[in-house]
Amino acid sequence: MRKWRSRSTLVVLAPGVSLLLAALGMIPVGRPTGIAVLLIGPVIACVWSSARRTAAVACWTVLLAVTAGVLRRLLGTPGFCLEFVVLVAGGALAVLNAARHTERKAALSRAAEVASASQSALLQPLSVEADGIEVCTRHHSPVRGASVCGDLYDVVQTPYGTRLIVGDVRGHGLDALRTTAAALRAFRDLAYLTPGLADLATAMDARLAPGLGSEDFVTAVFAEFAPGEVRLVNCGHPPPLRVGKRVKLLEPPQPALPLGLRTAPLPHRVYLQPGERLLFYTDGLSEARDGEGVEFPLLPRAAEALAQPSNSDALDALYAMAVAHTGRPLTDDVVLVLCRATGVTGAPLPARAREGISPAAGP
């Protein structure tokens, strides 16, 4: 990248200096000297180059101006002195601007590195098996140079069973990263203390709301695994897919607002037999569009990708299908979480954790 910028600077400056010298040569003696026009060189340099290179260009233009003044015998004339002062002052300002530009670029680079490290620490890839459930995750971000995004996921073991969250914070950048961290902290704290899954969602809503802006929110889907079934609470998030003999969208019994908007979700449960899989995802996948605006056909592609025996291979295949559909890298963050039931293990949840559960959805 640095080499490319250096070459671009030289390509711009070389014809520019030649043009300026030609213009200088056409100015008759006795009229305004025209040396101030050489300031264009440092101005161009401060946009594309470092402070050191801009200073070199500024010194070169001063040397050209002095040379022109000597050859034309204009040194000491009022017009020459005035334009020479303008040239020197402008060159100094160009060097200062280049230094500030370099500092800002370095600061942004450091911020991106910090955000990337923070995001990696928050969203570590998972490939684990616990309580008869295999969990595999993938996280893809379109942000160049960092993985700063608003997508989130986590899996924890609690007294009420294995619990999972997949969510999407509105927006991107460092503000979204801060909200992502707050949401994950809240989930990790409250998942161990809150018996009901819907109560967990409302408790997170109450904790996150004070720190969100008027237009900020977090869509989220919660899952709680038990022998032979999974309990779900959906707060404005794309519904998960159950993949077994057929693919089915697990829509919530009624829509609920995202976290941060005083949500009041209704929990429901579905059967999950050994060998069946649950796919959780963010809207970066379901809303991926091709050049004609056609959305990614999620259900048939998920059925095709999840025919892979390995969870890891299945997720990689699904993401590759989405990229092939759009014909270019996806422009939004994508989180994929695939869960597979390996057997009926563990103990049923306490009765208080089942309160408010809607009737089970059959296969």
Per-residue pLDDT in tens (0 to 9) along the chain, 363 residues: 444 444 454 444 433 543 454 344 444 434 455 666 677 777 777 777 777 887 888 787 777 777 777 777 777 777 777 777 877 887 788 788 888 877 777 777 666 666 555 555 556 666 667 778 889 999 887 655 444 567 899 999 999 999 999 999 987 667 777 888 899 999 999 999 999 999 999 999 999 999 888 888 999 999 999 988 999 999 999 999 999 888 999 999 899 999 999 999 999 999 998 889 999 999 989 888 888 889 999 999 999 999 888 999 999 999 999 999 998 888 788 899 999 988 644 444 443 333 334 444 444
Coil/strand/helix, residue 363:
coil
Residues 152-195 have pLDDT tens digits of 999 999 999 999 999 999 876 677 778 888 999 999 999 999 99
What angle do helix axes 40-48 and 2-26 make, rounded to 10 degrees? 170
Residues 23-60 have pLDDT tens digits of 444 444 344 556 666 777 777 777 777 778 878 887 87
Closest C-alpha among 12, 38, 13 to residue 25? 38
Residues 269-281 have pLDDT tens digits of 999 988 899 999 9
Annotate 229-262 with DSSP letters as a single string: EEEEEEESSPPPEEESSSEEE---SS--PPBTS-
The reported pLDDT for the residue numbered 166 is 95
Closest C-alpha among 164, 193, 166, 169 to residue 180? 169
- Ramachandran assignment for 328, one of left (phi > 0), alpha (psi -120 to 50 degrees), beta (any other): beta
Closest C-alpha among 153, 88, 360, 116 to residue 242? 360
Q: Are 334 and 322 in contact (CB under 8 A)?
A: yes
The reported pLDDT for the residue numbered 188 is 93
Q: How far apart are CA 236 and CA 265, in angstroms?
A: 9
Instruction: Identify the DSSP state of 195.
Output: S
Instruction: State the chain's mean pLDDT as an integer.
Output: 78
Q: How far apart are CA 184 and CA 196, in angstroms?
A: 18
Torsion, Cα 288 175 206 154, to 10 degrees, reads: 60
Answering whether pTM is above 0.85, one says no
What angle do helix axes 197-208 and 173-190 make, rounded to 10 degrees? 140
**Cα separations in angstroms, 5 against 11, 48, 50, 56, 107:** 10, 7, 10, 16, 19
The reported pLDDT for the residue numbered 91 is 76
